[in-house]
Each structure stands twice: as C-alpha cells, then as structure tokens.
Amino acid sequence: MSDARSQMRLERIYLKDASFESPAAPAVFKETWQPDISLEINTRSQKIGDAHFEVVLTVTAKAETDGRTAFIIEVQQAALFLIQGLEQAVLHRTLGTLCPATLFPYVREAVDSLAVRGGFPPLNLAPMNFEAAYEQALKQSQARPATH
C-alpha cells in the first residue's frame, strides 16, 4: 500500500531517438500500397537518483510490400518522472503501465510524422492497453521456470 506522502509527477517528456529508413525508395512508390506492417513495442525504465525514473517507450514499425522493406521507423519516446512513496509492486506496475501510457500519444505522433515525411501514407497506431500488456508479461514471467 502507498502512504499519504506518495506522489507521481511528470517532469519532462523528450524524444530520445528516432530513425527512418526506406531502402526500397524510390521504386516502392510505383507499387500499389498494400503493405504488411509489423509493430514491436517495448518499455524500459531506470532509476535516476533518489526518486526520479526515466521511462522509455520504443516503437519499431516495419512495412513490407512484395517481399521488400518499404520502411523501418524506430522511435524512442522518453520521460522523466518523479515517483515517491510507492511500495515496490505498485511502483513496478506504475512504471510498466501508467508511465508508458502517458508516453504513447507522443510516440504515436512521432511515428506517424516520420511515415508522412518519408513520402508514405499516415501510420496511425491503434490505442494500446498497457495494463493488459503488463498483466500478460507478468503471467509469462511467472510461468517460466526459475533457472539457477
């Protein structure tokens, strides 16, 4: 349980890294645009000082058409959060759910902007349920046998 002195405050949101590649350009623009899009979404966090945490949400989007890579976009959207007074389990859940959910609209806009700037149609990422993803990851980690 958290105590009365617990707090969470977003202190800064920043773009940590962004990249765009279009190895099949310009030939890809002559093809009918019906790509296979694959997405990979990851989060990580690290403690910075006594009560600050950096949370990084990474999205990698890859579009393939006719067996060729049309584009690869990778965005690392990050934020610095002040978090105090949370017990360990609540802190872990907060870093894995609330913090990435706060970052998602920013990473979503950055991915879309890079696709459009690369000459492709908008890439609108669907909303993501970080709570469900956290629960699934938690169940998977508990199902793995411990290694010594």
In order of start, what are the domains of the chain with their CATH numbers?
7-143 (3.10.420.10)
Q: Which residues contact 68 (CB under 8 A, 6 or more apart)?
A: 23, 24, 28
pLDDT of 27 reads 92
Per-residue pLDDT of the chain (148 residues; tens, 9 = 90+): 455 578 999 999 999 999 999 999 999 999 889 999 999 999 999 999 889 999 999 999 999 998 899 999 999 999 999 999 999 999 999 999 999 999 999 999 999 999 999 999 999 999 999 999 999 988 888 887 665 5
* C-alpha to C-alpha distance for 131 and 111, rounded to whole angstroms: 22
Helix (H, G, I), strand (E, B) or coil at 134: helix
pLDDT of 146 reads 60
